[in-house]
Structure 1
Amino acid sequence: MHDRRALLALLFALPLVAWGGLSLYYSGILGPLSAWAAAGYTLASMAIFFLSRTWKKAVALFTLLFTLVLVVFLLQRPSNTRDWQPDLALLPSAKLDGDRITLHNIRNCDYRTETDFTVQHYDKTFDLNALTSIDLFLVDWGLGSVVHTMLSFGFNNQQYVTISIEARKEQGEGYSTLRGFFRQYELTYVVADERDVVRLRTNYRQGETVYLYRIRGDKALFREVFLDYFRSINQLNNTPAWYNALLSNCTSVLRGHTRPYFRKVLWDWRLLANGYADEMAYEKGMLDTSLTFAELKRRSIINPKAREADRDPDFSQRIRAGLPGMDSPAQTK
């Protein structure tokens, strides 16, 4: 190396080298050559900084090489026509008619085990004037600081529709957080019965703890959030989008739909470490504050209630029985 500044430039470029190599490796756009392309890009990037006569030339050559990799990444296009897993094959949609909204393809799988189930869907019409609650589910699979989030919309405290924002997986495909950064999954909204998406996590998956909280607010705000969800859900039927483990995941997309709640929250580290989202919501007065947060969190675990309720048609009512704040009526504005 003829210029020590090239070494400094390499240190700054290393994250881009790593990203570019992984992007090529996971892209699949080059078929069986993807792994070779990733290795070649990484080696060429390193060589540029060691063999170039000046740091400016090294930066210029690396920028050109990285731009080519970025173009390959951007050439990947999301699709709605892949060989999807059966439980993710049908996209939900909604049709609004005044104050009534008809939801299509509400999922309600009949589970025997986590992986053995019968896929079922149904359509249902709801009166938006009866939308009286929003509840937040946090699903902790052991990491604590990172969880899965879902919102459930309640109609007169009798009927509930849960929306889970997920990576849409193909047949035989598992979920990998690392792959989730590189356009490997499409984004999907699972609109489901609570006996599906909640019971799957409390009764059939091992090692997952589910918390349930009632969100404070008024009916006008609930309606705004609910309709915003379904505008995006309908749009995905025509314009598929990529899932991204950082930028377009269960919590970042949820936050976009619930922005009326966050107008006074410019930034909070717990928006990224979403395992502490309930603590943030408690501090902002969005949850029941009649108890300490520690006591609220302890009493909000629903796994035992869900296992007892299991297939009961009153599953939603039973998992809420006795939970703090569940009797709080929505305000009308």
Structure 2
Amino acid sequence: MILVLLDGILRLALLLATLWGALALGHRLALPRLGRWLVVGLWLLAGGVWLWLAWQGARLGPLAAMAVQMMALLAWWRRLTPAKHRDWAEDVAYLATGDVEGDRLTLHHVRHFDWQSPDKARGGWERRVYDLHRLKAVDLFVSSWGRPGIAHVLVSFSFSGETPADDDFVAFSVEVRRERHERFSEIAGFFKQYELAIIAADERDAVRLRSNVRGERVTLYHVTLSYEARQELLLALVTAANDLAREPRFYHTITANCTTLIFVMMRRIIGGLPLDHRLLLSALLPGYIHDHGGLVPGHSLHELRRRGDVTERARQAGDAPDFSRRIRRGVPGWESLDRQP
């Protein structure tokens, strides 16, 4: 019985190593298409031979052969390094960076695009200055496009102006840094295909791109953090963005994405936050935050989701100067939000 179990584990390990290696080579081997697929074919052939031998009752031989094969593959894999300079897509051409002097935060390269289509926009990047004393609120945007459990998460910070019309909003987005004309694939995101990006953008850019241009459903949740925690989260994002600009990292579909990076920062601020499967399924993140007291109290998650659905309001607001105020009408936590941070 034990030998049967061990044989099953060996065959499964050989199968997984064969499939993982083929995907890694197929996505990252720097050869012309024909040469790359030839190498992938040879890898699959070798893995198939070791599996066949294992099914015939051999154990040590197939295990040793695959171990040598994997050691060579992993030696190459470890040498792959993320790039800082490539022909990046326009929307991720610049990473967010920031400087803090006293209570003055300066963000460099804040994106303010006016999107005409999912791939075409007018506008550019600019330097913006924020008064940390006026940091009023932090909100979570969750943008979904119909895939169960999958969504994109943005964290937005609002700063009080002299009047409500003067309030300022900046959204941070952890994204894939694609090359120009490169398309995103969740599978490729497991295999060092893309670099990681932290983007700072005007809300009219970041939200309208998803609600008005891509046709996604966008939901806004007001997060109930103290002023100190809000400031600490903002500065943690700026520090992470500065670090990323200095030393690039690979994006990973599970371990380095829009949800997991924010969770790591929040865990430093609020101790004791447990790991949860909802941290891997980004569309479920609001439920995790709700269960740990981070959303507006006195409302069910269903009600917060229903009243926080800003999709239609964003489409109606269009490019209005008070876009961010309009989409927040009726969102729990914003009806009577105190103007002082």
For normalisation by structure 2, the TM-score amounts to: 0.91
Residue by residue, what CA displacement relative to the aligned partner does 1:19-39 show, whole Å, maximum 9, x if unpaired? Answer: 111000110324442211122
1:69-127 per-residue CA deviation (whole Å, 9 max, x = no partner) reads 12222221111211111221122211111221110110010122222211411111111
Between stretches 213-222 and 84-93, larger displacement belongs to 84-93
Residue in structure 1 matched with residue 234 of structure 2 by the alignment: 226
Residue 181 of structure 1 corresponds to 190
Residue 56 of structure 1: how far off its partner (Å): 2.0
Whole-angstrom distance in 1 between the partners of 2:213 and 2:9: 51
Contact 2:232/2:269 (<8 A) preserved: no
CA distance in 2, matches of 1:214, 1:106: 22
Q: 1:262 to 1:56 in 2, by over 3 A?
A: farther
Per the alignment, residue 76 of structure 2 pairs with 72
Residue 59 of structure 1 corresponds to which residue in structure 2? 63
2-structure distance, mates of 1:91, 1:278: 26
Q: SS at the partner of 1:120?
A: strand
SS at match of 2:200: strand
The 8 Å contact of residues 189 and 253 in structure 2, kept in 1 or not, is answered as yes
Give the stretch that moved more between structures: 66-75 or 211-220: 66-75
Q: SS in structure 1 opposite 2:275?
A: coil
Q: Indicate how the Cα distance of structure 1 residues 292 and 262 shifts in structure 2: closer, same or farther if over 3 A, else same.
A: same
Match of 1:305 in 2: 313
Deviation at 1:262, TM superposition (A): 5.3
Letter in 2 for 1:20: G
Q: Residues 10 and 330 from structure 1, CA distance in 2 versus in 1: closer, same or farther, beyond 3 angstroms?
A: farther
1:57, distance to aligned residue in structure 2 (A): 2.6
For 1:250, what is the secondary structure of its paired residue?
Answer: coil
Query: Residues 233 and 269 of structure 2 are in contact (CA less than 8 Å); yes or no, is this contact kept in structure 1?
Result: no
Q: Shift in Å at residue 314 of structure 1?
A: 0.8
The residue aligned with 1:194 is 203
Secondary structure of 2:69's partner? helix
- 1:148 alignment partner in structure 2: 152
Tell me how far apart the structure 1 counterparts of residues 111 and 20 of structure 2 sit (CA, whole Å): 36
Residue 243 of structure 1 and its aligned partner are, at CA, apart by 0.5
Give the residue type in structure 2 aligned to 1:216.
T
1:250-273 Cα deviation digits (max 9, x unpaired): 111121122246533322221112
Match of 2:217 among 184, 201, 209: 209
Q: Which moved more, 1:43-52 or 1:183-192?
A: 43-52
Residue in structure 2 matched with residue 116 of structure 1 by the alignment: 120
Whole-angstrom distance in 1 between the partners of 2:269 and 2:285: 13
Task: Check the 8 A contact 1:24/1:73 in 2, yes or no.
Answer: no
Per the TM alignment, residue 8 of structure 1 is displaced from its structure 2 partner at its CA by 4.3
TM-score, normalising length from structure 1?
Answer: 0.93
Conserved 8 A contact 2:14-2:51: no
Aligned to 1:22: 23
Per mean C-alpha deviation after superposition, the further-off stretch among 194-203 and 117-126 is: 117-126
In the TM superposition, residue 330 of structure 1 has moved relative to its aligned partner by 8.8
Aligned to 1:102: 106
AA partner of residue 16 (structure 2): P
Question: Are the aligned partners of 1:29 and 1:76 in contact in 2 as well (CA < 8 Å)?
Answer: no
The answer to which of 46-55 and 264-273 deviates more is 46-55
Number of aligned pairs? 329
Distance across 2 between alignment mates of 1:180 and 1:240: 15
The answer to whether the 8 A contact 1:219-1:331 is kept is no
In 2, Cα distance between the equivalents of 1:221 and 1:94?
18
**Deviation sequence 1:46-77 (CA, Å, 0-9, x none):** 21243478412321221110121122222211
Helix, strand or coil for the counterpart of 2:259? helix
Contact 1:6 1:50 in 2 (8 A): no
Tell me, in whole angstroms, the C-alpha distance in 2 between the residues paired with 1:49 and 1:204: 48
1:13 maps to 2:21: no
Does residue 139 (structure 1) correspond to residue 140 (structure 2)? The answer is no
Distance 1:261 1:13 in 2: 42
Q: Which residue of 2 aligns with 1:290?
A: 298
Matched residue of 1:164: which SS?
A: strand
Question: How far apart in 2 are the matches of 1:277 and 1:291?
Answer: 16
Q: 1:39 aligned to 26, 38, 41, which one?
A: 41
- Supply the AA of the counterpart residue of 1:191: A
Partners of 1:182 and 1:148 lie apart in 2 by 20
- The answer (yes or no) to whether the contact 1:93–1:105 under 8 Å persists in 2 is yes
